[in-house]
Chain A
Amino acid sequence: MNEMRHHTSRRKLLGTGAALAAGVAMPAVLRAQEPPKPAELIVRAWGGVWVESLKKGVSDPFTAKTGIRIRHDLTEDNEIKPRIWAAVAQGRTPPIHVNWDTTANATSSALRGVCEDLSDLPNLAKVMPLAKPIGFTGVPIVNLYSYVYVLAYRPEAFPGGAPDSWMVLLEPRFKGRIALYNDGIGFHPVAQVLGGGKISDIPHNMEPCWAFIRKLKEQKPLLGEDPDFTNWFQKGEIDVACTISSNAREAKLKGVNVAWTVPKEGAKVDTDGMWIPKGLPANELYWAKRYIDFALSTEAQQVWLDGLGLPGVAPGLKPPADLVGDPSYPMSEKDFERLILIPPRIQAEHTPEWFARFKEIMQS
């Protein structure tokens, strides 16, 4: 269906890069030379189920292993970014040690040159190649898992079963009852397909995408952010939404009757990662790297990502029982065939322009 899908082929994702395996285990002599431990590390995270899962799967076990306390800073990823950029530009110590970030957002920081190189993380050689971003010298960001922008829906609104196409968003009965992200994130590639365009035309010709979004505007969509979707489903404000599967799953776990699907046109898949800002003292940089390395381990990812219901990059992970066979938890080559990945670098370089077009349509 699209020319960028090769980025998500199962073969590539599962190729563990055995050639890189040599020399990855941390020599015992290096452990003996570990630098002094800081009292705490500050890790930026998203709130709600996101930070709870991180704490349970990564932060608490890391503290148990190293004795270093982890403080979670819940400043929004977009808001911490300019603070980090300013600190690096002014030669100050950055406000956090580890930034848990969307890969697209992190890529803008990598392009600006404020990320430390993480290519020496031992666990990097054991995980899927997806963990390393494409198109950079070194590894400024480590991708940790993928997630899918699914079509989440209220089953009562679909008595005949799950919708099989995103075109349901245009049905008159859902006027004022649909929701998207307020910057259109996650929906652009799908809109490009629905508008009759090709994924390969992104980013140079996205007129089909904008034409479809103009049609969608007539449906009076609500535009929000992650917590809004759960809230809106809970409060009965919406029937259908394009949101990441974790939000729909969180709403379902809270007792809201919500289901989700990957329609026949496909759905966008993205990744989240972690990176370390430049400017940390050497010992803190070392332990921040150790934190990210631990987050790459199967041991940490199994617990952490079970909480989020997302497929990680570590080998041998088992999906949570409720997500076995779920299209938003891709495990097989066939699952990935239905997903659309836009390279983060293209996203980072064009998001401002896409955002401006989306705003122009939705605010006018």
Chain B
Amino acid sequence: MAPFSGRSDRRTGPALASYRFSWRVFDVLEALAAQWPARAMGLVKWFLLLPALLIVGLLIFGLVVMADASFRVMDFRTYQLSEHYSTANYVRLWGWGAFWATLWRSLGAALLVTLICLVLAFPYAWALTRTPNRRLRRVLLVGLFLPFFVGQVVRAYGWLVILGYEGIVNKALAVFGLGPYRLLFSYPAVLFGLVQYMLPFAVLMLMPALAAIPEEIERAAASCGASPLRAVLRVILPMARPGLIAAALVVATLTLTDFAMPAILGGGTNDFLANLVHDQFFRTSNAGLGSAIALVLTFLGTTIAGLLLTRAGTQAFGLRGTS
């Protein structure tokens, strides 16, 4: 594993000057690697996985801490969690109407926003990957990436300006003698904001899948007599399944755990589970109940992801092996 045969060459003359710093770094790394015992080569893959394992490990550690807290009850005379374990927080959740209302609202939003985003994202991603017009592609790309430069909270506040009682839309309607209407602070307003926020994610996840489908396939379908609609429904959509599953996975889980849109566009009466978690931790300082809700939320998100992956199989993402 001699990294470089001419060590002395590097110290003299033009060879030294031309020898790049990055090469030197790699020389050192290779020299270090050469010291690695051959018998321990099997450990290399674990070392490479170490950063990811650390991150996942921290996540699991956090979940364990939260699981521990979720089985302890807050004593509001001392604001300390109980020493003993109990299922009281989960029992309380079971009988708490606000919890069920926010749970169904969150799940409903995850489903609706995902469906709407997939329907809207597909033609956008299709146009982006198929258009021969370079200018149109550029416009579509700008339209796709621009929202990522504007944070979710800023976008939500933008909707307040546009859809507010004295906002742009109501002012435009007033020209025709209509309104003003209350367009904000409702469940549809939250869904609207979420769709607008999630759509770029869906397009981004769909694009590679659609780009991977050869255009010849479409021509073949057409030559076999399939109408464009039939070709999309029977050929393209099934082939785009990895992208659709990936987009659904991202949009559904992000929507399920969203905090800002319900907080800003919901008017305080359309909270999601994440808002309820925040309230328990920061408003009532009830870390026990907050942890219990957070774990339920994590369980729901994981279940949705698991169901999608089970349904589609990991090979849907182009991974080897079976699910």
A and B physically associate: yes
* Residues of A participating in the B interface, judged by any CB pair closer than 8 Å: 76, 78-79, 81-82, 85, 108-109, 111-113, 176, 182-183, 220-224, 235-237, 348-353, 355-356, 359-360, 362-364
Given A108-B285, A360-B97, A360-B98, also A224-B268 (CB < 8 A): yes
Q: Which of B184, B269, B284 contacts A363 (CB 8 A)?
A: B269
- Residues in B with CB closer than 8 Å to A364 are 97-98, 101
Q: Would you list the 10 A-B pairs with minimal beta carbon distance, nearest first? A: A223-B268, A352-B284, A112-B79, A359-B98, A78-B282, A182-B268, A360-B98, A363-B98, A236-B166, A360-B97
- Residues in A with CB closer than 8 Å to B287 are 82
Q: Is B314 an interface residue (CB 8 A)?
A: no
B101 touches A111 (CB 8 A): no
CB distance from A217 to the nearest CB of B (A): 8
B164 touches A237 (CB 8 A): yes
Q: Which of A85, A223, A352 contacts B286 (CB 8 A)?
A: A352
Q: With A and B bound together, what is the CA distance between A103 and B239 in angstroms?
A: 61
- Residues in B with CB closer than 8 Å to A362 are 98, 268-269
- Residues in A with CB closer than 8 Å to B149 are none
Within 8 A of A (CB), among B173-206: 180, 182, 184-185
- Residues in B with CB closer than 8 Å to A85 are 79, 285
Q: Is B76 an interface residue (CB 8 A)?
A: yes
Chain B: CB-nearest residue to A355 = B284
Given A78-B282, A82-B282, A360-B98, also A349-B268 (CB < 8 A): no
Given A360-B97, A364-B101, also A78-B268 (CB < 8 A): no
Within 8 A of A (CB), among B254-313: 267-269, 271, 276, 279, 281-287
CB distance from B291 to the nearest CB of A (A): 12
CB distance from B260 to the nearest CB of A (A): 14
Q: Which of A78, A176, A220, A224 contacts B283 (CB 8 A)?
A: A78
Q: Is the interface of B mostly helix, strand, loop or mixed?
A: loop
Chain B: CB-nearest residue to A78 = B282
Binary per-residue interface labels of chain B (77-94) against chain A in the complex, 1 for a CB within 8 Å, 0 otherwise: 111100000000000000
A111 touches B79 (CB 8 A): yes
B281 touches A108 (CB 8 A): no
Q: With A and B bound together, what is the CA distance between A352 and B75 in angstroms?
A: 11
CB distance from A221 to the nearest CB of B (A): 8
CB distance from A48 to the nearest CB of B (A): 16
Q: Is the interface of A mostly helix, strand, loop or mixed?
A: helix
B98 touches A356 (CB 8 A): yes
6 additional contacts, CB 8 Å, given A113-B78, A349-B77? A79-B282, A82-B282, A221-B268, A356-B96, A363-B101, A364-B98
A109 touches B79 (CB 8 A): yes
Chain A: CB-nearest residue to B167 = A235
- Residues in B with CB closer than 8 Å to A353 are 76
B282 touches A352 (CB 8 A): no
B98 touches A76 (CB 8 A): no
Interface size on B, as a range, is 20 to 34
Q: With A and B bound together, what is the CA distance between A347 and B156 in angstroms?
A: 33
CB distance from B145 to the nearest CB of A (A): 30
- Residues in B with CB closer than 8 Å to A348 are 76, 79
A360 touches B96 (CB 8 A): yes
Q: Is B74 an interface residue (CB 8 A)?
A: yes
- Residues in B with CB closer than 8 Å to A78 are 282-283, 285
B74 touches A81 (CB 8 A): no
Can you spell out 10 A-B residue pairs with CB atoms less than 8 angstroms apart? A82-B287, A221-B268, A235-B167, A236-B166, A237-B165, A359-B276, A360-B96, A360-B98, A363-B102, A363-B269
A76 touches B286 (CB 8 A): no
- Residues in B with CB closer than 8 Å to A183 are 279, 283
CB distance from B239 to the nearest CB of A (A): 43
- Residues in B with CB closer than 8 Å to A236 are 164-166, 180
Q: Which of A112, A221, A235, A359 contacts B78 (CB 8 A)?
A: A112
Q: With A and B bound together, what is the CA distance between A246 and B185 in angstroms?
A: 24
A108 touches B268 (CB 8 A): no
Q: Which of A108, A221, A363 contacts B271 (CB 8 A)?
A: A363
- Residues in A with CB closer than 8 Å to B98 are 356, 359-360, 362-364
B164 touches A359 (CB 8 A): no
A108 touches B79 (CB 8 A): yes
CB distance from A211 to the nearest CB of B (A): 16
Q: With A and B bound together, what is the CA distance between A223 and B268 in angstroms?
A: 4
B269 touches A352 (CB 8 A): no
- Residues in B with CB closer than 8 Å to A352 are 74, 76, 284-286
